[in-house]
Amino acid sequence: MGNEVMSVLKKDYIYNLMLKGKRADGRAFDEIRDIDLRTNVIDKAEGSAWIKLGGTELLVGIKLQVGSPFPDSEGEGVIITSMELNPIASPDFEAGPPKEDAIEMARVTDRGIRESGAIDLSKLCITEGEEVWIVFIDIHVLNNEGNIQDAASLAAIAALMTTTIPGEREGRGEDMPMPIRDMPVSVSLVDIGGEVMVDPDLDEEAVCDSRLTIVSNQDGSISGMQKSGDGALNDEKLLKAVSLACKKASELRETHLLNI
Amino acid sequence: MEREIVIPGQFLSDNKNDSGPGTYVKDGKVYSLLYGVKNAKNKISVIPFSGKYIPSPRDYVIGTVIEITPSNWIFDIGSPYDGLLHVSEYPRRVEQDKMAELMDFGSSALLRVKDVNSSMKVELTMKERGLRALKVGRVIEVTPAKVPRIIGHGGSMVSMLKKETDCDIFVGQNGRIWIRGKDGKMDLLTEAIKLIMKHSHTSGLTDRISQFLENGIDVVSEKDETVLENDLAEDTEDESEIQEDTYRKVDALLDDDN
Amino acid sequence: MSDKPEKFIDENGLRLDGRRIDEIRPMKMEIGVLSRADGSCYLEWGKNKVLAAVYGPRELHPRRLQKADSVLIRYRYNMAAFSVEDRIRPGPSRRSTEISKVSREAFEPVVLTHLYPGAVIDVFAEVLQADAGTRTAAINAASVALADAGIPMKGLISACAVGKVDGQLVLDLNKPEDNYGDADIPMALTSDGEITLLQMDGDVTQEEFKKAIEMCKEGCRQILEIQKETLKNKFTKLDEVDISDEDEDVDISTIVESTLEPSEDEETEDQDEGSDEYQDDGSAEEDENEDDSVSEDEEEDNEDDLIEDSEESIKRIDEDDPDDEEDDA
């Protein structure tokens, strides 16, 4: 059950493929799996997106509530991002409060959106110091075939772009679209035996030495990064990865976000 | 021969004597226990479309070592129940401290189920001809219920696969298939096995798979095109090239980007 | 939120959403939608969107939870945070815990639990969008997911609610009827019409309750048809459903054995299970020399356990089934 122990034969297989410049599913190292992204799939949410990245599937729902601002940013709305690695999504996931993986991925998604300034938080202020809009980004993972991170952040920004702030329902003025200013997109890469490849599938995630996520914006700037896994990276490899990630992010934005 | 898809609880016969595997009798009538295909040869049985491998004595299986205790290798055999291979069931004498040298975590092996007791303790053996640790080749996983399809009538499918691909193939009854051959051939064989899984319920499969292997043309799918309703997302390649990125420090300020 | 409507049923006997009092909302299902699960089903029922998946039977880890003589069934009903108007905190609530319990018990009478002692079958039902009747929607999806996972069951479970609005019983409550109605009676039924889940809140007479059961049975009968169709349609897309002659009562072990011999077996001509022509080709074995001793061990027991192996696990089913009065002719 599960992937607690991966068979050596499989590891060898993936490693040997890598040496030949190949991947198990035939992709190039810089090739992202097929993406199916649909927005407005949940009527009850203020914004939503369903994504299928290869076999990885998840739903992002955006809910808005009126609440208090943080004391250090009284004129700004609040973003709260959570991820549930539901046991429905993988034999390896267990019910219970989010564990470190889920928290890490939720926080990386959150930082990408926050630090890029993708949402103009000042426009989410209702009464300074008293009432602001709280934006809940809930990531509900349904099927894990690897790289939940990139699926989550692409679906999150797509869901935000389709979000309507329910002013009327909450008695706070008129409905308005979410004030979106940028489209941060995350691209994750793994290092397997010295080669770097984007959008790891499940097996690649399991055998990789380390993993790097880079969130970049429309102008090519970077708004979030995360290295995880027990391997180490040198700066040459890192810079190469960053440049590749930004290029792929731009492609993803072009194909999947600009038409929303 | 009558064949039909049935579901759990479906009425199959008025004659309780017709009750075969995958069925049950209630009030003298026979019903299906499973979602699968009804087989009305002799008795009525239902062959499920899916289901976990449940070990039975004398089954051949492929396992992966998940734990080593002082006297047993514990194997994941793709079942709710792990299998135990006692050192004494290894083909030759093994010192306890040498166990991991022969088979360590993640090692795969061809094994046979020696015994299963009522609480589902599964004992394995490697003391038979051909059983061994696997150091090379690949293991492919399929639904255990479909193993008969990989083997084919009287072994026809597996023989054909061997012949066409020049690979060694060992089909474990737990749905794991070990293959070994040239890389390109193993790739082709893996594709063929995937096709068999996808079209396992159709007829004349051996011939169509054979054609696939000879011509590399997926005649199998052409025939049942409807199965291939793939969500063909648009290719994301080469939409645009962007200029070299300017690396910027990630600023803690929320509004750094406009 | 919306206020209570003045009338739930108009002069033509139609409800707010245009249904008759004994009509269920449109329902559609799809099976095998999740690649990681052993069985899965996506269901839309009215505006409800539910995804159910089954994992198992699988190993149950804290050993103390294991039942020595049967499989443990676990059922987890869970609502996505964004599935309702007001966001709900992720994770279990008292409500979801209760629903999970009674839903599990709805399935326990039909699943053949004694076949997998010590193991667990996990059923997960995720409510992605909620619009009245989510527990029954989840059960309908879970039932099909269990079948899809190949779990042996005496029959499918179908579930539906009856409620009371404007003094009249109505089948399959919609959101306003659920919020403002006078009663809500969710039930789950076996295909024989036995009740495996029953809850009720509100106010009905005994006479009304009797009628409610009848209405519910009729609703569940319709749902069962949709469940059946969903399962059967998975394959009728292909014009043929014919496993043909490939899974006869052959002895799989024997055939497997014939493939086993060798890595020494460079002879690919051996077509038949009977073929015993193997050539010793030691060179192919280079990387496996420590296994050489294996092939020297010649203790084949060749008495053929015909007819057994492939269907052994299912055979056990009917041997163990208490209802099985099979009499070997």
The partner residue sitting opposite A91, judged by closest CB among C58, C87, C90, is C58
Q: CA of C85: which chain A residue's CA is closest?
A: A44
ipTM of predicted assembly, 2 dp: 0.93
- Per-residue pLDDT tens, chain B, 258 aa: give them: 456 899 999 999 999 999 999 999 999 999 999 999 898 888 999 989 999 999 999 999 999 999 999 999 999 999 999 999 999 999 999 998 899 999 999 999 999 999 999 889 999 999 998 899 999 999 999 989 888 888 888 888 888 999 989 999 999 999 999 999 998 899 999 999 988 888 776 767 888 888 888 876 655 544 443 333 332 222 222 223 222 222 222 222 223 333
Q: Which CATH number fits domain B3-48: 2.40.50.100, 3.30.1300.10, 3.30.1130.10, 1.50.10.10?
A: 2.40.50.100
Cβ-contact A224, A111 below 8 angstroms: yes
Residue C235 contacts A, CB cutoff 8 Å: no
**Residue pLDDT, tens place only, C25-38:** 999 999 999 999 99
Can you give the residue ranges of every domain in chain A?
A: 29-257
Which residue reads 């009464």 in tokens?
A127
Rounded to two decimals, the pTM is: 0.84
Judge whether residue C83 has pLDDT over 50: yes
Closest CB to A4: pick one of B66, B134, B241: B66
Where along chain C do the CATH 3.30.230.70 domains lie?
A: 27-236
What phi, psi does C35 have (nearest 5°)? -75, -30
Model confidence pLDDT, tens digit, residues A190-235: 998 888 999 999 999 999 999 999 999 999 999 999 999 989 988 9
Q: DSSP readout, C61-103? A: SSGGG--SSSPEEEEEEEE-TTSSSS---SS--HHHHHHHHHH
Burial C14-33 (b: 16+ CB within 10 A, else e): ebeeebebebbbebebbbbb
pLDDT for B200 equals 74
Look at residue B149 in the predicted model and tell me its pLDDT. 85
Q: Can you give the pLDDT at residue B206?
A: 81
Write out the CATH class of domain A29-257. alpha beta
Residues of C in contact with A55 (CB under 8 A): 35-36
Interface of B with C in 46-65 (CB under 8 A): 46-54, 56, 58-60
Predicted pLDDT at B129: 87
- Please state the rounded mean pLDDT for residues C177-188: 95
pLDDT band at C18 (very low <50, low <70, confident <90, very high): very high
What architecture is the B60-134 domain classified under in CATH?
A: Beta Barrel (2.40)
pLDDT of amino acid C63: 85
**Residue B85 one-letter amino acid:** L
Identical topology for domains B3-48 and B60-134: yes
Instruction: Find the residue in B nearest to C250 (Cα).
Output: B154
- Top CATH class, B138-222: alpha beta
CB contact under 8 A, B258 and A222: no
Predicted pLDDT of residue C314: 41
- Domains in chain B: boundaries: 3-48, 60-134, 138-222
Residue of B nearest to A120 (CA): B255
DSSP H or E segment with residue A238: helix A235-252
Percent of chain C with pLDDT over 70: 71
Mean of all residue pLDDT scores within chain A: 94
Q: Burial of A3 by CB count in 10 Å (0-12 exposed, 13-18 middle, 19+ buried)?
A: middle
- CATH fit for domain C27-236, picks 3.90.1200.10, 3.30.230.70, 1.25.10.10, 3.40.50.300: 3.30.230.70
pLDDT at B146: 86
